[in-house]
Amino acid sequence: MSNTGAALVRLGEGDRRRAIGALLLHSFAAVLGALVASFPAQAQVEQYIEPPERKYLYQEDAKKKENEQRKRAEAKQKRDAAKQKLQAGANVPLDINATSIDYDNTGNVIEAQGDVIVTYGSTVAEARRGQVNVTTNEAKLEGDVRISDVTSNISADSAFLDMDDGSAELKDADIFFAEGDYQLFARDADRAPGDVYTLEDTVLSTCHCPEGDDCLPWSLRAKDAEITREGYGYAWNTSFAVFDVPVFYFPFLMFPAKNERQSGLLFPTIGSGRQSGLTFELPFFWAIDESTDSTITAVYESEIRSGADIEFRKLFSRRHSLEAGFVYLNESQRNGDLLGTNVENLDDPTFDENRIAGYVDHSWSGSLAGQPLQFLLDGNYVSDDLFLREYEKSEIDDFNTRFVTSTAVLRTPIGTTYGLDLRGEYNQAIVDDDDFVFQRLPEVALYGIDSFRPFGENPLGLKVSANTNLTSVHFTRRKSFEGVRSELNEQFKMPFYFGNYFDGQVNAGVRGTLYNVTQQDVVARNDVDEFPDGEVVGDVEVDDDLEATMFDSTSNRVVPNFGGTLNTVLERVFTVPDDSSLKRIAELGTIGRREKLVRLKHTLEPGLKYRYVPYVSQEENPQFDSQDRLAERNVVTYELVQRLYGRYEPRDPYVYGIEEATPELTDLGTLRSTTPLDQDLSFGFEPENAALEYQRLRQGSVREMANFELSQSFDVNEERKDLLEDEDAFSDVSARLALLPNE
């Protein structure tokens, strides 16, 4: 409105200048008339002919000037009236911008043409043309209409909008709700106060199509529908379609349309089985508060069990979360029968009538006395070895797992490239005897990376990086030997490259290990040859399936290693057409809602690897895990890897689709540089940095969509020594294919 005010000021000054000019002109005419008063005929002519102005020598021009002056006066009057009304309602944040703005005769309606933008509070409306009533705050918009507010983004061919209560009448509307990430299309849509939508010929979905493609992966298509946000939706004459192909028809359908979590019953699971009989599960979701919820599921199988499955979730902050679960099953109905469960090779195939299982996942990051700390707990428990085979609970472990493992880590960084861990690990054996399973209680680890440039800046990019890992682990169990393993693993790498032709690295390292056996009453599963049946070794009585083995109280080993890699890459970039089927597949899921696939890069990567580990005798050392028997290696591996990368760009890198409303990255603080410890220290949480979020939002992403790898190894030692007559120095050809089109 400031431009209008300026225009009013300029018009007033022009009128005054013209009035002064006219006064001077008439004065000059009066003087001239007095001078020629002695000429009667001439005076008579002057009575009937008006002296012309210098700029308007014709009568038509004079009339045109009068019309323009009248229009300017009327426009000034309308603007003044509109300005007074806007000033009187100054508490209403109404702003109108357009290429051309005019007013009707009453001054109540603003007519705007060209790039119209109407802002009212938190509502922003855009159109090619429109009319706005400044008295009622109603707007009629036409041509590429876009309406954005805090709850939705709307596009339509035309709209009638009441900006006071938010009601609207829309034609050919596309409505998107960011909260809940769902959208709807409708030929006619009415929005009533309270976000109540009445729709005709509508399509509802949570999927987003690529640009220029209207084929949704799935959708609900209804003749009529009524949807209340934070309430429920009702649809009549509805079909469920997959890629525009109708699959199911519903005369009437009711569904929730809530963004906020609500307590209530969830959809039940009903079935039957030959062994289980009738099965029924009814979950109840309990929204305890904004950051806490629980799911309580009643479990019933008529021939086997009844019980409850409880899940609990709590988000204390961005860096502190808790998730836990508990399962109770009463299985008295089965009378101890296995009912077909495979118990082959299990050490203990028994189970109780009352079975329990549970898990807890706890993650916390903070500081103590200014020192950053992180704690992670992943605890799991089952009451018997058959539990996961008969009741699947992926939060605990897979149904065919050999061990149920619980871990805990307390971690702190040291400087910028080192970290210190205090860890613990407890294992439940599902197949073997729990008494012979090692527990790592506790484990201390110091690890980090150092980088040096002894050659300075050079065209080959030569530098040296040192990876240090110092650990000490106490292995304990109920039966057999126990001890402590302390180890220093130092690895050096020297990467290099030659232009854009190839790159590689040379690496060397040494692993030094010290063993301290703290308990010598050692038994191992084997046939008895050395000890007679019934003899006591330490605290353990040897029977016919156990053999005692004695170790030195201390022992050690030093194992060096050497290797290198050499790689090159050929690549080609392709533009992805909008109608490509690959583009459609790659944009399925959540990624397609935010980003679109624009380019593909295909790489061909030949590579050569060499690994050498000399033979070192380790038989006199105790074996706590697989790391205590490092095999001799002298192997060359050649491989060919093909990868397909996808370049995704954001569908809308701006807030509410308005570029001016999106802050620059520099306005959000400095982007934090990552360190080698970030992946380990974050526990899945991103840094609290808004700039990182906007960087991803505006720059898009690159994702590996597929890879295919062929490789084969050649054992140099096997070729030289001919260790086994039937063994071939060449390994089998290994092939691996991974498809990740929309991960």
Tell me the average pLDDT across 169-194: 87
Whether 311 maps to a domain, the answer reads no
Residue 37 pLDDT exceeds 50: no
Tell me the average pLDDT across 597-605: 94
Question: Is 0.85 topped by the overall pTM?
Answer: no
Between 403 and 81, the higher pLDDT residue:
403
* pLDDT, tens digit (0-9, with 9 covering 90-100), for 656-695: 444 444 445 444 443 333 433 333 333 333 344 444 444 4
Residue 334 pLDDT exceeds 50: yes
CB atoms within 10 A of CB 598: 14
Q: Does residue 265 contact residue 287 with C-beta atoms inside 8 Å? A: no
Phi, psi for 682 (deg, rounded to 5)? -75, -25
Question: Structure tokens of 378?
Answer: 């992943």
**Are 602 and 668 in a shared domain?**
yes
**Are 604 and 709 in a shared domain?**
yes
**Are 587 and 723 in a shared domain?**
yes
**Are 724 and 600 in a shared domain?**
yes
Q: Does residue 187 contact residue 159 with C-beta atoms inside 8 Å? A: no
* pLDDT, tens digit (0-9, with 9 covering 90-100), for 553-596: 899 999 999 999 999 999 999 999 988 888 888 887 777 777 88
* pLDDT, tens digit (0-9, with 9 covering 90-100), for 236-275: 999 998 888 899 999 999 988 877 778 988 889 999 988 8
Residue 76 pLDDT exceeds 70: no
Whether 132 maps to a domain, the answer reads no
Last residue of a domain, one of 232, 260, 288: 260
Whether 135 maps to a domain, the answer reads no
Between 63 and 22, the higher pLDDT residue:
63
Whether 107 maps to a domain, the answer reads no
Residue 606, pLDDT score:
96
Residue 387, pLDDT score:
95
Residue 83 pLDDT exceeds 60: no
**Are 542 and 576 in a shared domain?**
no
Tell me the average pLDDT across 108-117: 90
Question: Structure tokens of 248?
Answer: 């199911």
Phi, psi for 721 (deg, rounded to 5)? -95, -20
Q: What angle do CA 65, 70, 76 make, to 5 degrees?
A: 125
Q: Which of 35-49, 85-99, 333-347, 538-552 has the lowest mean pLDDT?
A: 35-49
Residue 125 banded pLDDT, cuts 50, 70, 90:
very high
**Are 450 and 591 in a shared domain?**
no
**Rounded distance, CA 694 to CA 689, Å?**
9
Residue 382 pLDDT exceeds 80: yes
Residue 724 banded pLDDT, cuts 50, 70, 90:
low
Highest average pLDDT, of 3-12, 248-257, 313-322, comes from 313-322
Question: Structure tokens of 48?
Answer: 């009937």
Whether 335 maps to a domain, the answer reads no
**Are 531 and 574 in a shared domain?**
no
**Are 630 and 699 in a shared domain?**
yes
Residue 612 pLDDT exceeds 90: yes
Question: Structure tokens of 566?
Answer: 């050499």
Whether 369 maps to a domain, the answer reads no
**Are 543 and 633 in a shared domain?**
no
Whether 275 maps to a domain, the answer reads no
Overall residue count recorded for the chain in this entry: 743
CB atoms within 10 A of CB 233: 21
Question: Structure tokens of 368?
Answer: 């103590």
**Are 556 and 578 in a shared domain?**
no
**Rounded distance, CA 328 to CA 352, Å?**
12
Last residue of a domain, one of 244, 260, 276: 260
The residue range of the domain holding 53 is 2-77
Residue 526, pLDDT score:
42
Peptide bond into 442 cis (omega under 30): yes
**Rounded distance, CA 696 to CA 89, Å?**
42
Q: What is the dihedral of CA 628, 629, 632, 638, to 10 degrees?
A: -80
First vs last C-alpha separation in the chain: 50
Local structure of 641: helix, strand or coil: strand
Q: What angle do CA 703, 704, 706 make, to 5 degrees?
A: 145
Q: Which of 103-107, 707-711, 735-739 has the lowest mean pLDDT?
A: 103-107
* pLDDT, tens digit (0-9, with 9 covering 90-100), for 278-315: 999 999 999 999 899 999 999 999 999 999 999 999 99
How many domains does one find in the chain?
4
Residue 257, pLDDT score:
83
Highest average pLDDT, of 150-159, 381-390, 520-529, comes from 381-390
Last residue of a domain, one of 205, 238, 260: 260
**Are 591 and 654 in a shared domain?**
yes
Tell me the average pLDDT across 466-473: 97
* pLDDT, tens digit (0-9, with 9 covering 90-100), for 472-494: 999 999 998 999 999 999 999 99
Residue 40 banded pLDDT, cuts 50, 70, 90:
very low
Between 681 and 344, the higher pLDDT residue:
344
Between 431 and 40, the higher pLDDT residue:
431
**Are 675 and 579 in a shared domain?**
yes
Sign of the CA dihedral 573, 576, 581, 585? positive
Computed over every residue of the chain, the mean pLDDT equals: 81
Enumerate residues 6+ apart whose C-beta is below 8 A from 488.
Answer: 468, 469, 470, 511, 512
Query: What secondary structure does DSSP assign to 651-686, as a single string?
Result: S--SGGG-GGGSPPGGGG-PPPPP-TTHHHHSTTPP
Whether 421 maps to a domain, the answer reads no
Residue 689, pLDDT score:
45
Query: What is the percent of the chain with per-residue pLDDT over 70, rounded to a whole number?
Result: 75
